[in-house]
A = this chain, B = another copy of it.
Amino acid sequence: MGDNSFGTLFSFTSFGESHGPAIGCVVDGVPPRLNLSEADIQPYLDRRKPGQSRFVTQRQETDQVKILSGTFEGKTTGTPVMLLIENTDQRSKDYGAISESYRPGHADYTYDQKYGHRDYRGGGRSSARETAVRVAAGGIADLVLRQILGDKFSIQGSVVQIGPHEIDRDNFNAEQIDKNPFFSADADAVQKWKTYLDDVRKAGSSAGAVLEIVAQGIPSGLGQPLYGKLDAELAAAMMSINAAKGVEIGGGFALSAIDGAAAGDEMRLDDTGRPVFLSNYNGGVLGGISSGQDIVLRVAIKPTSSILTPRRSLNRAGEEVDVVTKGRHDPCVGIRGVPVAEAMMAVVLLDQVMRHQAQTSILPEQV
């Protein structure tokens, strides 16, 4: 498997640079006979699309997805689904400065160290633009999961912190998430974040964020111990997203601070006699396997590295320079990370569903 692939049975292989002709991916392992057209995938991309508020980049990418293979007469055939997104907003411009200088916090220096040659236009391969590919692949995963798991299933992400400002958990209302430019479940946080973001932007700076992704309606039993654990694969999926610097499941880091008697997720039967957990400190995963509770994880996204404030850096010649990053950048790249993290979770979950099915439902007495 190449290192630009993700997934075991349901997998996608990504390609493309920010300012090349196109980005896209080949999605393999798609179940056959799924109704699938471009119109089914496009809504996922539209949620991530730039230019929808002043708090995200003003680049004008339409992010129209094209399916080049793997469907016939409106249904998947079981062969690879190729998804192509052409780059349309490649402004002709002078990359002189950025081509020679390393933008702090970006991958410019490390790509040059690794490969000795890089496509510096808009960050090239390391651009957050590539995340559109993940959203498209994740869209297919989500569509399949909906078929398999039914109406109780959903993956819903939101922003729970921008800069130092967290949401108030008492205000959490999932229905608010799509009604504001921040994917915030707390309507009251919106104004606070607007003010904060306007301030950092005016100061030539940017903001970090924390995302929370929740999957509901997930059956117990998903996850492959010990090295394909559900939470381990989710951690890798989230940490592979641009600017992610931390991942936690359930209680996460806060769980380290409490004692075992407080943290155990006790069980009882509900009124209908079905098992229920009395808390969810484990975020729906025990021993790497889903417990049937909601899967809950959070992702730390660092502040956008492209800022107008001059920063000390080096150039390719090894000389000290100061770098200012102009352009149409997201003041808080975490916001548009929400659909990306949802997509990655969908891919991990479907892949685990398929692996679970393969091992545990083939013996006659298992069914």
Contacts and interface: CB of A to CB of B under 8 A. Distances in A.
Given A78-B115, A205-B259, A256-B208, A3 B267 contact: no
Interface string A104-123: 11110111011111110100
A150 to B, nearest CB: 9
Contacts of A305: 260, 263-264
A225 B235 CA distance: 16
Interface in A227-272: 227-229, 231-240, 242, 244-253, 255-269
Copies assembled: 4
A14 interface: yes
Contacts of A163: 256-259
A286 B110 contact: yes
Interface stretch (A18-26, A51-59, A176-184): A18-26
B203 A257 contact: no
A67 to B, nearest CB: 9
B240 A16 contact: no
B360 A300 contact: no
A261 B362 contact: no
A263 to B, nearest CB: 5
A221 B26 contact: no
B225 A232 contact: no
Contacts of A366: 31-33, 116
A69 B22 contact: yes
A154 to B, nearest CB: 18
B286 A109 contact: yes
A17 B357 contact: no
A245 B256 CA distance: 9
A138 interface: no
A27 B10 CA distance: 19
B5 A227 contact: yes
Contacts of A273: 318
A116 B110 CA distance: 34
Contacts of A258: 163-164, 208, 303
Interface residues of A, number: 168
A4 interface: yes
Interface string A74-90: 01111111100000000
Nearest to A131: B226
A259 B207 contact: yes
A50 interface: no
Contact of A288 (B107, B115, B144, B268): B107
A94 B69 CA distance: 21
A26 to B, nearest CB: 5
Interface in A174-213: 200, 203-210
A289 B114 contact: yes
A16 B81 CA distance: 8
A285 B119 CA distance: 19
A29 B3 contact: yes
